[in-house]
Amino acid sequence: MIEKKLGKQLRGAVYWALALIVIFLVCGGALSAYLYKTREEVTRNQVIAEAEEYKKRILKQFESDSRLLRTFADLISLKDNNDLLIEEIDKFKADNQFLTILYYNTNGQGIISNMDEDTISGADLNAVAPEARQSILLALEKGEESVSRLFESNISQTRVFVYTVPVYRNGEIIGALSASDHIEIFSEILSGDTVLGGGGYIHLIGSQGRFLIKSPKMIVKENIPTIFDGAYLSDSEKETVMTALTNQERLFSHFKNNGSSYLFLLEPIGINGWYLLCVNTGEGLAANTHASALVTQITFLGIFILIIVLMLRGYRLLRNYSRDLLGYAYHDQLTGAENLLRFRQRLYEALNNGGGSVAALSIRQFPFINEIFGRERADKLLCLIKEKAECHLTQGEFFCRDTMDSFYLFFRDTEEDLLKKRIEEFMEDVCRNTDISHKDYRLALYCGVASTTEVKDSEEAAEALMTHVQFALSSAKGHHDSSIWFFDSELHKTEELENYIESHMHSALEDGEFKMFLQPKKNLDTNRIEGAEALVRWHTPQGRQIFPDSFIPLFEKNGFCLKLDMYMVEQACKQIRSWTERGIEPIAISVNQSKLLFFEENYISMLKDTLKKYNVPAGLITLEILEGLALENEDILNERITALQAEGFKISLDDFGSGYSSLNTLGKLKINELKLDRDFLLKASGENSQRVRLIMEYIVKLAETLGISTVAEGVETTEDEEFIKSIGCKTGQGYLYSKPISAAEFDEKYMSRD
């Protein structure tokens, strides 16, 4: 039981701990995911902010260059002289960092001013690079400002691009002014160390993914011309990057290098489909957030491991503690034997596999042994019993020590003789080996045994056995002649009933559980029912009917008869009153009176009070006393009888002939009626019947002479009736006429007015 409970508690604790771990893991996971998400979000926002900043700087560069070109275009629109124009262009060229300045009029004739070279006049438009020509034509034909694609300059031998603006005079396009520059002018802008706080770098790429400006800090060491080269992007990533480039959209993606994944942003600049490719290397500022997330994760992991370790330790401690506790809970500390708790558990289990017997063993006068021989020797005796029990029990048998000198032993055997032999041998072994002996004292053990053979419900059977063995033990304790006492179920039932009777009698009387039954008395001359005897029946609330033989002797002993008999007198009076009130001529009712009540001091006054209460004449009440009463105080009895008769009561001597009746007594008692015990009639038809019949005849005759009427009890057959009639008996009572029946049935059967 305890084992199960502890196991359950332990399991409960483990479940709780597991639940806590799960909560902890979920919280940790959620926190970690949140941190990761936040970190990712922060990084992305930071990357976007940085990219936008660099984009702004590049656009600013473009803007300032084109503004410069526009201002110069306004200036040259005023010069219609070619030489003056060349002069202005050369001057402009010398004042700025542009590589080449080109001016073409609408006729396709142009001036080209190159670094370190002489200015060419009358240059053909077809002679310039197609990228530059396209840009110039846009300005000449549509008046659009533009920036050309990158191309290899055959003048500077470097990759360049051109800005072109239209030149207006009087609102009409008269020419196109272009200036070329190295793409590297943006390198300065992009090569800073401050990108993402040192944790990133930026490339400038073209609309097809070609690197226009590569950052010197790039982590990919391979010299690849476009971002699609090498195995840095997966196929799907390549596809999304391509789509984003085509649509000029911003895109976040990842590439792989040396097994690590890197976040990058593609930010369109808005010129020529160029893009900024901003890479986050995870170092610098980003490394800090990454590190803090890592620290958080490690902390969580550390706490998690700590909890697991503590839990395992706690679990082990708890398990050991439970084991110790079970040891204490199941064992007797003095002898080391198992205790009653464990015995009961084992008994349930054992009875599951069939029947068995339990013996409860005690030591006679154990407190005396303790006192005379000392505690130590008494304890030694208890330990000896434990040792011997271990030796005498066989496979599947067990025992325990409860408290003091109380031991219980379970035997597989149920056969009484065999058990008796085994227990005797065990007891003898203990007595032979103990040092508790003295010339005036011999150690004695006693034992109660209860057995069960058929077991349906082992728990119920075990409980019953434990109760029964206690009864057997108390019987053994009370009988010094026999030291082993077997439980007797019949005896136990009687004891049980007595116990019920004693504990319930008061409430039963209050609750009206005692019922008055009536048995008719027949006048054999008139053949009429002229009287009835009130006989008590106990109807329990459980529907059980208990007969007086089961409780009257007990009530006589415990004094409750005083109350019950007076109650019955009252019931008889009530019945007579009821008949009178219904206009039915009442008949006399005989009520049995116990010895106790008969000699009660205020007996007569109590009777008178009851009679008065129901207004019933005393002549209708016959008081039946037992012949045993006459044996003790004849004179006092006669005094009582005379006093009662003076009040009008009739006195009947019941069960005459059942005990030590003597005709002498009959002569001395002043009774009105004599009831011949049922035993007479029984014997009158058996052996010596003639003698019995003769005695009966004489008794009836003697009674008649003394003026005492006779009633024969136990008339069961017509032969009985014939016989009692023949000897002059005037009244008969017995089953031949009726068994005792309830007052209501009696009423209906014998007292109806018809």
Instruction: Return residues touching ligand C2E (CB under 6 A).
Output: 519, 535-536, 547-549, 552, 561, 565, 568, 592, 594, 624, 654-655, 678, 714-716, 733-735, 740
Q: At what angle do helices 2-76 and 284-330 cross, to 10 degrees?
A: 170
Alpha-carbon distance of 411 to 494, in angstroms, equals 27
Nearer CB in complex with Mg ion: 131/624: 624
Which region among 229-237, 487-495, 536-544, 707-715 touches Mg ion (by CB under 5 A)? 707-715
Nearer CB in complex with ligand C2E: 82/494: 494
What the block records as the tokens of 733 is 């009572």
644 binds, among ligand C2E, Mg ion, none (CB under 5 to 8 A by kind): none
Residue 207 CA to its chain's centroid (Å): 71
The three-point CA angle 332-333-335 to 5° equals 75
> Residues in contact with Mg ion, total (CB under 5 A)?
5
CB of 667 to Mg ion, least distance (A): 21
89 binds, among Mg ion, ligand C2E, none (CB under 5 to 8 A by kind): none
Nearer CB in complex with ligand C2E: 568/630: 568
Q: At what angle do helices 743-750 and 561-581 cross, to 10 degrees?
A: 30
CB of 503 to ligand C2E, least distance (A): 20
CB of 559 to ligand C2E, least distance (A): 12
Nearer CB in complex with ligand C2E: 388/678: 678
Phi-psi region of 75 (alpha: psi -120 to 50; beta: other; left: phi over 0): alpha
Which region among 30-38, 137-145, 515-523, 709-717 touches Mg ion (by CB under 5 A)? 709-717
332 binds, among Mg ion, ligand C2E, none (CB under 5 to 8 A by kind): none
Nearer CB in complex with Mg ion: 131/654: 654
CB of 701 to ligand C2E, least distance (A): 23
Alpha-carbon distance of 426 to 441, in angstroms, equals 20
735 binds, among ligand C2E, Mg ion, none (CB under 5 to 8 A by kind): ligand C2E
Q: What are phi and psi of 169, to 5 degrees?
A: -135, 130
Q: What are phi and psi of 201, to 5 degrees?
A: -155, 165
CB of 439 to ligand C2E, least distance (A): 54
Nearer CB in complex with ligand C2E: 40/716: 716
- Among residue numbers 587 through 606, which ones bind Mg ion (CB under 5 A)? 592
Nearer CB in complex with ligand C2E: 326/509: 509
CB of 629 to ligand C2E, least distance (A): 12
Nearer CB in complex with Mg ion: 50/713: 713
CB of 637 to ligand C2E, least distance (A): 16
The owner of tokens 């009409």 is 172
Look at strands 528-539 and 588-592 and give their pairing.
Answer: parallel
282 binds, among Mg ion, ligand C2E, none (CB under 5 to 8 A by kind): none
- Among residue numbers 606 through 635, which ones bind Mg ion (CB under 5 A)? 624
| Residue partners of 303: CB distance under 8 A and separation at least 6 | 24
Q: Show the 3-state SS of 464-524.
A: HHHHHHHHHHHHHHHCCCCCEEECCHHHHHHHHHHHHHHHHHHHHHHCCCEEEEEEEEEEC
Phi-psi region of 250 (alpha: psi -120 to 50; beta: other; left: phi over 0): beta
CB of 654 to Mg ion, least distance (A): 4
CB of 535 to Mg ion, least distance (A): 7
Alpha-carbon distance of 346 to 466, in angstroms, equals 13
Nearer CB in complex with ligand C2E: 140/653: 653
535 binds, among ligand C2E, Mg ion, none (CB under 5 to 8 A by kind): ligand C2E
Nearer CB in complex with ligand C2E: 300/750: 750
Look at strands 484-486 and 445-452 and give their pairing.
Answer: parallel
Q: Which of 735, 646, 665, 743 is nearest to 706 (CA)?
A: 665
- Among residue numbers 214 through 273, which ones bind Mg ion (CB under 5 A)? none
Q: Which amino acid is at 54?
A: Y
Nearer CB in complex with ligand C2E: 422/730: 730
Which region among 200-208, 311-319, 407-415, 652-660 touches Mg ion (by CB under 5 A)? 652-660
The owner of tokens 């009864």 is 471
Nearer CB in complex with Mg ion: 51/597: 597
| Residue partners of 258: CB distance under 8 A and separation at least 6 | none
* Strand ranges inside 92-158, DSSP E: 100-105, 109-114, 120-124, 146-147, 151-152
Nearer CB in complex with Mg ion: 351/524: 524
To the nearest 10°, the Cα dihedral for 372, 373, 379, 384? -130
100 binds, among Mg ion, ligand C2E, none (CB under 5 to 8 A by kind): none
Phi-psi region of 240 (alpha: psi -120 to 50; beta: other; left: phi over 0): alpha
Nearer CB in complex with ligand C2E: 196/651: 651
CB of 680 to Mg ion, least distance (A): 11
Partners of 363 in beta bridges:
445
547 binds, among ligand C2E, Mg ion, none (CB under 5 to 8 A by kind): ligand C2E
Q: Which of 163, 98, 97 is nearest to 136 (CA)?
A: 163
655 touches Mg ion by CB under 5 A: yes
Nearer CB in complex with Mg ion: 83/549: 549
CB of 655 to ligand C2E, least distance (A): 5
Q: Are 424 and 342 in contact (CB under 8 A)?
A: no
Q: Which residue is nearest to ligand C2E (CB)?
A: 734
CB of 520 to ligand C2E, least distance (A): 10
CB of 549 to ligand C2E, least distance (A): 5
CB of 595 to ligand C2E, least distance (A): 9
Q: Which of 371, 370, 367, 404 is nearest to 385 (CA)?
A: 404
Q: Is 600 helix (H, G, I), strand (E, B) or coil?
A: coil
277 binds, among ligand C2E, Mg ion, none (CB under 5 to 8 A by kind): none
Alpha-carbon distance of 208 to 228, in angstroms, equals 9
CB of 511 to ligand C2E, least distance (A): 17
Q: Positive or negative, the Cα torsion across 459, 464, 470, 472?
A: negative
* 78, 475, 503, 675, 689 from 683: Cα distances, Å: 171, 37, 39, 16, 6
CB of 533 to ligand C2E, least distance (A): 6
CB of 677 to Mg ion, least distance (A): 6
Nearer CB in complex with Mg ion: 570/655: 655
Q: What are phi and psi of 730, to 5 degrees?
A: -90, -30
Which region among 185-193, 494-502, 598-606, 649-657 touches Mg ion (by CB under 5 A)? 649-657
Alpha-carbon distance of 101 to 92, in angstroms, equals 8
Nearer CB in complex with Mg ion: 487/517: 517
740 binds, among Mg ion, ligand C2E, none (CB under 5 to 8 A by kind): ligand C2E
594 binds, among Mg ion, ligand C2E, none (CB under 5 to 8 A by kind): ligand C2E
Which region among 309-317, 475-483, 650-658, 718-726 touches Mg ion (by CB under 5 A)? 650-658
354 binds, among Mg ion, ligand C2E, none (CB under 5 to 8 A by kind): none
What are the respective helix, strand and coil percentages of the chain, to the nearest 5? Answer: 50, 20, 25
Contact set with Mg ion (CB under 5 A) = 592, 624, 654-655, 713
